[in-house]
């Protein structure tokens, strides 16, 4: 009886999900209520978690709870710490949830709400969650080894080296693009710039408190820090209202880019407890609070989605970024559906803290479903504003026109009615000087979020506070990715440099620290500066480059996962990782080819360089602008070269893996699995990671 009831409940959930998906896919005419998005996503997640992840856990991976996990074998209270599965879920989610699932769907909304939403749900269920889950499992079975180590041991030495290079490449481009998102969010905004600048002294204060006053008392320090940050969000309004202070904090894109470069260098070279860690604590609490509030706000306000299911820009002529729906919708959504970067978390800290193998399903698969849900919420927030406003915020002036009225006319001409005055009024309401040409996703998401939040608390009166709270939330945790990433990048540079010259590899040697920090900051700083001065808006070239690098890393992870499944003798179920891998290879290869060679200068780097070179040759460029143009040409060629190298790396890895797989399947090579030996667990079945007497 119980079983029949359970089946009936699951059939009802599946039917509700199918109905909601059908509604958002087939709906035409009146604007659709956002509740349908939430229902469709949640029902799909429940069904795929209940069925597909259970199938992967039982059949494909055959999780074994009698086996001791790394934290039981090496419990040292430092790295290997047995952790309750809910706490570890929180840790893992806080680590994987970055700006990608917020920015990617916001940018992909230019195709309409439908393609992005479908890919967010399906891509997560069948690719992203599977990648995170399988890599977590593989790392648990190998004492928490990293993706690079597993690639080296299970695929080949070269595979490991490619994985390491791919990580460095993605890190460089990621840091540049997130820096650009912050620049576009803070540009000409004294309120937002002041608020974010103040988070630095607040973090320093917390750093000193946590180091010298109450070592390690993170919770009380974070409560103080969050209160101070909320205060400076409000205080930003006073700064914006004061003519003299407002001038100090009104900065151009280039100035902000240099400020972020200096900040990244400082965060990398200074002791980690002083600036980086306290900012991370603040960011984690504010991120958790803002994401929870956004979900609650959407359910409470139930906004209407004003963007059509598909826009005219599926043809590739989109103003936010150029390129057709295939492959650029998938490349742009990136992290909300599948992110290669997650494989670094799944093969880093999490496997060293997991209590049982079966928890990998909840933590690996489940946390990625939640990340996908964040992506769906970002899509709703972006699509809940009138499409004309969305395009006005996200389009560069080189496409829509420099003045408000000209831009409004261009956007209205596309079929998305907009009046210049609407943008002026909106900017005034949210306390900004202008909202035109603020590409990058952060300002439009902040407008969407503030409208949802103000619909819940405060109404229009608090719109400006909510807008700047949203900007602060995005910029704060984006910069946390930037400083933490710069530091990890510094270690990678030191590791690579140490192979050539030993002292350089010593992490405590100050000249090495400074030089390696300068190298990694110089690498992403170059791309950031290039993005800021790019007349096409920077996001147009950098975000696809980031998407390609990220999806490439996911392909690397899935190659490793497929190889391990093959060696485990799970040939029958190999499609679970092989199909998403093949899909990623297809989209990254197509996108790379188009970004390098496409004849449309807004898509192809080389054709854009050619157009610029032709303009110089024809004497159309004033003499004082020629040097700038030549730099732009060099940057386009550099972008083409980077894309080419990324594509070549994945091709080499695929060939390497195919040769390896053929050797295993034809028994020319012995299939050696590098798992840690089986040791039976001594923990009782109900041990939850909580020390005796705590309950």
Partner 1 sequence: MRKTARTTLRFLRRFWRGLREWCGDAAYERYLRSPGTRSGSRPMLSAEKFYVEQLNSRYSRPNRCC
Interface residues with partner 1 (CB under 8 A)? 74-81, 83-84, 86-87, 90-91, 94-100, 146, 167, 170, 174, 178, 210-212, 215-219, 222, 271-273, 276-277, 280-281, 284-285, 334-335, 339, 341-342, 344-345, 348-349, 480-481, 484-485, 487-488, 491, 507, 546, 550, 690-691, 694-695
- Residue holding tokens 């990621």? 174
Q: How far apart are CA 330 and CA 563, in angstroms?
A: 25
Q: Residue 577 Cβ, how far from partner 1 at the closest point, in Å?
A: 20
Q: Which residues of 380-407 are buried (b: 16+ CB within 10 A; e: fewer)?
A: bbbbbbbbbbbbbbbbbeebbbeebeeb
| 486 contacts 172 by C-beta, under 8 angstroms | no
| DSSP of 518-550 | HHHHHHHHHHHHHHHH-TT-SHHHHHHHHHHHH
Q: How far apart are CA 423 and CA 388, in angstroms?
A: 10
Q: Report CA Rg, the chain.
A: 25
Q: Which residues neighbour 428 within 8 Å (Cβ) at sequence distance 6 or greater?
A: none
572 φ, ψ (degrees, to nearest 5)? -60, -30
Q: Residue 88 Cβ, how far from partner 1 at the closest point, in Å?
A: 9
Between 124 and 408, name the residue whose CB sits nearer to partner 1.
124
Between 36 and 341, name the residue whose CB sits nearer to partner 1.
341
| 436 contacts 404 by C-beta, under 8 angstroms | yes
Between 98 and 236, name the residue whose CB sits nearer to partner 1.
98
Q: Residue 237 Cβ, how far from partner 1 at the closest point, in Å?
A: 30
Between 1 and 510, name the residue whose CB sits nearer to partner 1.
510
Q: How far apart are CA 570 and CA 55, in angstroms?
A: 13
Between 285 and 469, name the residue whose CB sits nearer to partner 1.
285
Q: Residue 300 Cβ, how far from partner 1 at the closest point, in Å?
A: 23
Between 495 and 675, name the residue whose CB sits nearer to partner 1.
495
Between 20 and 182, name the residue whose CB sits nearer to partner 1.
182
Between 489 and 537, name the residue whose CB sits nearer to partner 1.
489
Q: How far apart are CA 392 and CA 410, in angstroms?
A: 10
Q: Residue 257 Cβ, how far from partner 1 at the closest point, in Å?
A: 19
Between 224 and 301, name the residue whose CB sits nearer to partner 1.
224
Q: How far apart are CA 429 and CA 448, in angstroms?
A: 13
Q: Which residues of 526-552 are buried (b: 16+ CB within 10 A; e: fewer)?
A: ebbbbbbebebbbbbbbbbbbbbbbbb
Q: Which residues neighbour 626 within 8 Å (Cβ) at sequence distance 6 or greater?
A: 616
Q: Residue 164 Cβ, how far from partner 1 at the closest point, in Å?
A: 12
Residue 319 C-alpha from the chain's centroid: 22
| 538 contacts 532 by C-beta, under 8 angstroms | yes
HSE of 485 in the Cβ direction (CA atoms, 13 Å)? 30
| DSSP of 1-41 | -HHHHHHHHHHHHHHHHHHHHHHHHH--SSPEETHHHHHHH
| 94 contacts 284 by C-beta, under 8 angstroms | yes
Between 90 and 497, name the residue whose CB sits nearer to partner 1.
90
Q: Residue 640 Cβ, how far from partner 1 at the closest point, in Å?
A: 23
β partners of residue 304 = 33
Q: Which of 463, 472, 386, 384 is nearest to 423 (CA)?
A: 386
Between 285 and 661, name the residue whose CB sits nearer to partner 1.
285
Q: Which of 52, 57, 43, 49 is nearest to 15 (CA)?
A: 43
DSSP state of 677: P
Q: What three-state secondary structure class fits 347?
A: coil
Q: Residue 686 Cβ, how far from partner 1 at the closest point, in Å?
A: 15
DSSP state of 304: E
Q: Enter the tokens of residue 372.
A: 């996908």
Q: Residue 97 Cβ, how far from partner 1 at the closest point, in Å?
A: 7
| 271 contacts 210 by C-beta, under 8 angstroms | no
Q: How far apart are CA 692 and CA 695, in angstroms?
A: 7
Between 319 and 336, name the residue whose CB sits nearer to partner 1.
336
Between 344 and 576, name the residue whose CB sits nearer to partner 1.
344
Between 76 and 624, name the residue whose CB sits nearer to partner 1.
76
């Amino acid at each position: 009886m119980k079983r029949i009831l359970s089946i009936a409940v699951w059939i009802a959930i599946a039917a509700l999900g199918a109905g909601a998906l059908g509604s958002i896919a087939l709906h035409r005419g009146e604007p659709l209520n956002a509740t349908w998005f939430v229902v469709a996503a949640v029902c799909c997640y429940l069904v795929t978690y209940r069925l597909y992840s259970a199938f992967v856990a039982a059949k494909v991976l055959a999780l074994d709870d009698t086996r001791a996990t790394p934290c039981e074998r090496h419990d040292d209270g430092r790295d290997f710490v047995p952790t309750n599965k809910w706490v570890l879920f929180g840790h893992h989610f806080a680590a994987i949830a970055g700006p990608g699932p917020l920015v990617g769907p916001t940018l992909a909304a230019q195709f309409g709400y439908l393609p992005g939403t479908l890919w967010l749900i399906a891509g997560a269920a069948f690719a992203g969650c599977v990648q995170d889950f399988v890599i977590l499992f593989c790392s648990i079975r190998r004492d928490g080894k990293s993706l690079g180590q597993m690639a080296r041991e299970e695929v080949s030495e070269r595979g490991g080296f490619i994985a390491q290079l791919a990580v460095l490449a993605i890190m460089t481009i990621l840091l540049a693009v997130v820096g650009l998102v912050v620049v576009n969010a803070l540009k000409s905004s004294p309120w937002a710039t002041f608020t974010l600048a103040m988070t630095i002294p607040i973090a320093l204060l917390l750093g000193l408190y946590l180091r010298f006053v109450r070592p390690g008392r993170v919770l009380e320090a974070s409560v103080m820090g969050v209160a101070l940050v909320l205060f400076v969000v409000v205080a930003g309004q006073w700064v914006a209202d004061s003519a003299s202070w407002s001038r100090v904090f009104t900065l151009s894109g280039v100035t902000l880019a240099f400020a972020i470069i200096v900040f990244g260098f400082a965060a990398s070279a200074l002791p980690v407890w002083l600036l980086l860690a306290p900012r991370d604590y603040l960011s984690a609490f504010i991120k958790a609070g803002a994401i929870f509030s956004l979900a609650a706000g959407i359910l409470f306000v139930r906004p209407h989605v004003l963007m059509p299911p598909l826009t005219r820009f599926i043809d590739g002529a989109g103003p936010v970024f150029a390129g057709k729906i295939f492959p650029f919708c998938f490349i742009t959504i990136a992290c909300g559906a599948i992110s290669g970067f997650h494989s670094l978390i799944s093969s880093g800290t999490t496997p060293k803290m997991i209590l049982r193998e079966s928890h990998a399903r909840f933590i690996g698969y489940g946390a990625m479903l939640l990340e996908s849900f964040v992506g769906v919420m970002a899509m709703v927030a972006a699509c809940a504003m009138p499409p004309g406003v969305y395009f006005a915020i996200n389009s560069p002036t080189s496409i829509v026109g420099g003045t408000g009225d000209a831009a409004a006319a261009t956007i209205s001409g596309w079929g998305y009615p907009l009046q210049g005055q609407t943008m002026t009024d909106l900017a005034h309401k949210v306390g900004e000087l202008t909202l035109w040409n603020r590409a990058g996703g952060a300002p439009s998401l902040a407008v969407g979020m503030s409208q949802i939040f103000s619909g819940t608390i405060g109404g229009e009166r608090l719109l400006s506070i909510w807008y700047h709270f949203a900007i602060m939330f995005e910029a704060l945790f984006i910069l946390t990715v930037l400083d933490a990433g710069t530091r990890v990048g510094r270690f990678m540079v030191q590791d690579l440099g140490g192979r050539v010259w030993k002292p350089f590899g010593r992490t405590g040697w100050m000249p090495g620290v400074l030089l390696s920090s300068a190298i990694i900051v110089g690498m992403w700083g170059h791309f950031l500066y290039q993005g800021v001065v790019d007349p096409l808006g920077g996001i147009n070239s950098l975000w696809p480059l980031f998407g390609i690098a990220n999806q490439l890393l996911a392909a690397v992870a899935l190659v490793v996962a497929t190889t391990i499944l093959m060696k485990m003798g799970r040939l029958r179920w190999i499609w679970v990782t092989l199909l998403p891998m093949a899909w990623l290879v297809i989209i990254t290869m197509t996108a790379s080819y188009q970004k390098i060679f496409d004849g449309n200068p807004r898509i192809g780097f080389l054709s854009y360089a050619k157009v610029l070179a032709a303009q110089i040759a024809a004497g159309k460029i004033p003499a004082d602008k020629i040097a700038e143009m030549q730099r732009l040409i060099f940057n386009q060629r550099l972008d083409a070269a980077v894309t080419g190298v990324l594509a070549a790396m994945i091709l080499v890895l695929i060939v390497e893996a195919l040769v390896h797989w053929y050797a295993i399947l034809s028994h020319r090579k012995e299939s050696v699995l590098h798992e840690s030996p089986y040791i039976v667990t001594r923990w009782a079945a109900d041990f939850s990671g909580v020390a005796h007497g705590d309950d």
